[in-house]
Amino acid sequence: MTATDSTRAEAAARYDAWYHTPRGEWIGETEFALLRDALGAQPGDTVLDVGCGTGHFTRLFAGRAGVRIVGLDPDLAWLRFARSHARAGEAYVAGRAERLPFRDASFDHAIAVTSLCFIRDQDDALREIVRVTRKRLALGLLNRRSILYLQKGRGGGVGAYRGAHWHTAAEIRAQIARLSLRDVRLASAVFLPGGGPCAQWLEQRLPTGWLAGALLLALADVPARGAK
């Protein structure tokens, strides 16, 4: 293993360990619940996780939703971490969102949890995600109209958010409109990203339709091939 590989492996371990801290666990569970319920995937459905990173959400979907899921990421060190922590038969493939290594309509569903925020050619990636999806896709995005953006996103971002693109609801609606998808819905979660008792109390009482949470979820259905 080269020094660069070792550094990337350490970064993957640190990133995934954050989900096991009290704040990280709450945020991860809150985001997963919104994604799972919105996607509506049934046991046995096939799902592609685009930009899976260390496989955190891939593992959750495999273990709790009973789906057959494939995680895709260009970072080989992070994929090695994901594979070594697989827990429910999920698979991992190296590749880029802008050129997915799958045939048309290969998956029932696709998810991308903040990975789109770090892709320069977002339209290319979205077209590819639609191409390989038969039914429904869910995009988890960093929300520019959120407290988290004020804390972590301004001036190019800090830490893990450095260089990230933060979306607005209007922006992602416009991007999706260019793809002729159906039944587009938006939701959000993690309104107070501190994760303390007040944040958790408030999270249970605010509607997901109030688009002010750190996670902006865009959900859309893919028309049947050949449908107009």
The model's pLDDT over 28-79, given as tens digits with 9 standing for 90+, comes to 999 999 999 999 999 999 999 999 999 999 999 999 999 999 999 999 999 9
Q: pLDDT per residue over 69-127, tens digit each?
A: 999 999 999 999 999 999 999 999 999 999 999 999 999 999 999 999 999 999 999 99
What type of residue is 198?
A: C
Pairing between β-strand 215-221 and β-strand 91-94 as defined by DSSP bridges: unpaired
pLDDT attached to residue 221:
98
pLDDT (tens digit, 9 = 90+) per residue, 135-179? 999 999 999 999 999 999 999 999 999 999 999 999 999 999 999
pLDDT computed for residue 18 by the predictor: 96
Q: Which helix (H) or strand (E) holds 168?
A: none
Q: In the numeric block, which tokens belong to residue 139?
A: 């995009």
The predicted pLDDT at position 5 comes to 74
Q: Which domains does the chain have, with CATH numbers?
A: 3-221 (3.40.50.150)
Q: Which of 190, 209, 161 is nearest to 28 (CA)?
A: 190
Q: Per the confidence metrics, is the pTM higher than 0.85?
A: yes
